[in-house]
Structure 1
Amino acid sequence: MLQSMQAPLFFALIAAFVTSIGLIAVAARGDWSERHSGLFALAAGGMLVTLSLLHITPEAFALSRHAPALILTGFLGGLMLSFLVRAVFPEGGDAGQAAAITPVMAVATHAFIDGIIYSVTFAASFSSGVYAAASLLLHKFPEGVIAFAILRRHGFANRQAFLLAFLAAAATTPLGVIASAPFMYGLGPETIGALFALSAGLLLYVATGPLMEPLKEETPMRSFLALGAGVGIAILIATLPVHGPEKGHGLSPLASHDLLDMVP
């Protein structure tokens, strides 16, 4: 099993490194990042909505017939988690920082699922794993930025935000590989599609809910530019030609084909 983990774990560590670069880029200017955390949150919201609709949701529909219900389940799950956090921390004290729990957990969940995808696609074939890893690496850079911006906006110090964002957005991808490695040959396309769908729903809730709160504080023009920047970056990421010899999105068509071949 250790030998079969080498390739997916190697690419997962690269993903964690790429995420950390994005994290370092904003953490190096912590005070500036804090002052503009609202704009970062709006840009992050634009990125998450766009990547969810262009990258995660299509893969969920391609692999799982239950994708619509599971996307709704993920969305409502994020809403219920947010209500639970507010019930536990109703006001004052740690309430502001507690509000970061739901969005940061969403980022961590998605990054963990990326690790599972690495394991499963490399189990299908080495080429499909490489294509999938290349595709997934594209959105790793902004994940660190998103997690850091969320934490800074909710009152975490620069060092705290860096550490927690690293744990949520970077460390969880190798952890996903390690946790899924013993079961990777038993995870079929339906399971992977279900994970994509739940992740898409959860991220859509975060993008349209907590990350849109700065709309009340920023001017319309600044808000529009921040959202537009996030959407533009996500579209650029989604359209870069790194999907192997065939056209496609998210996991390469070769990876998706090999996933389907794993069904008994």
Structure 2
Amino acid sequence: MLHSVPPAVYASLVAGAVTTVGIIVVRRFSDWGRSNSAYFACFAAGVLIAVSFMHLIPKSLDISTNAPLMMLTGFLSLHVFNRFLNTKVCDRQGSAEFAIGVVAMIGIGFHSLIDGMIYSVTFSVSFFTGFLSALGMVLHEFPEGIVTFVLLLRGGFSERKSLWFAFCAAALTTPLGTLISIPWISQAAPQLLGNLLALSAGALFYVGATHLLPMAERESKKHSLVALVAGVATAFGIILSTG
């Protein structure tokens, strides 16, 4: 029975669990969680950016001739969507902090849903491709849960509501995205799979370069660069040892 469950489902469940741990940690050990979230963000950014450039992009180029266009589409789609959310929500709410909390919840919820779909796409290409992507993706879930909870709390939501909203938006949506996408991803033609992989590569690069790194830079942690290099080295080592 367990052998029939796709690896992408396990990866998405682990990601949801890691996000939940992040939320619980920042609630119970708020000082430790907030003070170290930048290191998790830097490490995850290094893994995601390295995996995108060194494995996902070359792999998608081998499969699909439309890969460059799809990479650009994946990158710009997340950028435009985030800009849209910030503009619409911030303009309609009286409190800037409330708007930021809602934007974080909606944006991260959508992003986590896409994360689940990315697991389906990458594991459909190969277990190795899925594993590399999942490594960086799972690691970035921890600070993502922390950020969602903290911003909702600052936006005026109660601690209980912040906990449950953050859990639903950042944790539950990842396995949901995987379960929704697996049935049709498994039947996809190679060209479509290559396009989706390229779309995922653009999305992953966006998450690493424009979402995680700026977060880490704002924290100005002393060893953040070390964490970033460690993330790149981890991805590089796994690619070389398995390739």
TM superposition score normalised by structure 2: 0.74
Greater per-residue helix proportion: 2
Tell whether the 8 Å contact from 1:144 to 1:169 is kept in structure 2 after alignment. Answer: no
Alpha-carbon RMSD across the aligned residues, in angstroms, is 3.1
* Cα distance in structure 2, aligned partners of 1:21 and 1:169: 10
Instruction: Pick the aligned partner of 2:179 from 174, 180, 185.
Output: 174
Q: Which residue of 2 aligns with 1:193?
A: 194
Structure 1 residues 97 and 222 mapped into 2: Cα distance closer, same or farther (>3 Å)?
A: farther
Q: Which residue of 1 aligns with 2:147?
A: 153
Structure 1 residues 116 and 217 mapped into 2: Cα distance closer, same or farther (>3 Å)?
A: closer
How many corresponding residue pairs?
A: 223
Instruction: Pick the aligned partner of 2:130 from 133, 136, 146.
Output: 136
Q: Which residue of 1 aligns with 2:159?
A: none
Q: Which residue of 2 aligns with 1:204?
A: 205
Structure 1 residues 198 and 141 mapped into 2: Cα distance closer, same or farther (>3 Å)?
A: closer
Instruction: Show CA shifts across 1:44-78 (max 9, x none).
Output: 22222112112221111111111112211221212
Identity percentage over the alignment? 24
Instruction: Pick the aligned partner of 1:29 from 19, 25, 29.
Output: 25
Stretch deviating more after TM superposition (100-109 or 149-158): 100-109
Tell whether the 8 Å contact from 1:114 to 1:136 is kept in structure 2 after alignment. Answer: yes
Tell whether the 8 Å contact from 1:12 to 1:115 is kept in structure 2 after alignment. Answer: yes
Tell whether the 8 Å contact from 2:46 to 2:229 is kept in structure 1 after alignment. Answer: yes
Q: Which residue of 2 aligns with 1:11?
A: 7
Q: Which residue of 2 aligns with 1:244?
A: none
Q: Which residue of 2 aligns with 1:108?
A: 113
Structure 1 residues 141 and 76 mapped into 2: Cα distance closer, same or farther (>3 Å)?
A: closer
Segments of 5+ residues of structure 1 without an aligned counterpart are 1-5, 122-131, 242-246, 248-264
* Cα distance in structure 2, aligned partners of 1:25 and 1:221: 25
* Cα distance in structure 2, aligned partners of 1:101 and 1:235: 33
Structure 1 position 233 matched with structure 2 position 234 = yes
* Cα distance in structure 1, aligned partners of 2:214 and 2:104: 11
Aligned AA for 2:134? K
Q: Which residue of 2 aligns with 1:221?
A: 222
Tell whether the 8 Å contact from 1:144 to 1:166 is kept in structure 2 after alignment. Answer: no
Q: Matched residue of 1:65: which SS?
A: coil
* Cα distance in structure 2, aligned partners of 1:236 and 1:29: 30
1:89 Cα deviation (Å)? 2.1
Aligned AA for 1:42? C
* Cα distance in structure 1, aligned partners of 2:163 and 2:136: 17
* Cα distance in structure 1, aligned partners of 2:86 and 2:16: 30
* Cα distance in structure 2, aligned partners of 1:135 and 1:82: 27
1:192 Cα deviation (Å)? 0.9
1:227 Cα deviation (Å)? 1.5
Aligned AA for 1:233? T
Aligned AA for 2:75? F
Segments of 5+ residues of structure 2 without an aligned counterpart are 91-95, 153-161
Instruction: Pick the aligned partner of 2:97 from 89, 92, 98.
Output: 92
Tell whether the 8 Å contact from 1:143 to 1:169 is kept in structure 2 after alignment. Answer: no
* Cα distance in structure 1, aligned partners of 2:209 and 2:47: 11
Instruction: Show CA shifts across 1:182-214 (max 9, x none).
Output: xx1xx2221111111111112222222122223
Instruction: Show CA shifts across 1:142-197 (max 9, x none).
Output: 4234134124224244554344333233342233213445xx1xx22211111111
Q: Which residue of 2 aligns with 1:126?
A: none
Structure 1 position 67 matched with structure 2 position 62 = no
Tell whether the 8 Å contact from 2:56 to 2:201 is kept in structure 1 after alignment. Answer: yes
Tell whether the 8 Å contact from 1:144 to 1:165 is kept in structure 2 after alignment. Answer: no
* Cα distance in structure 1, aligned partners of 2:51 and 2:213: 16
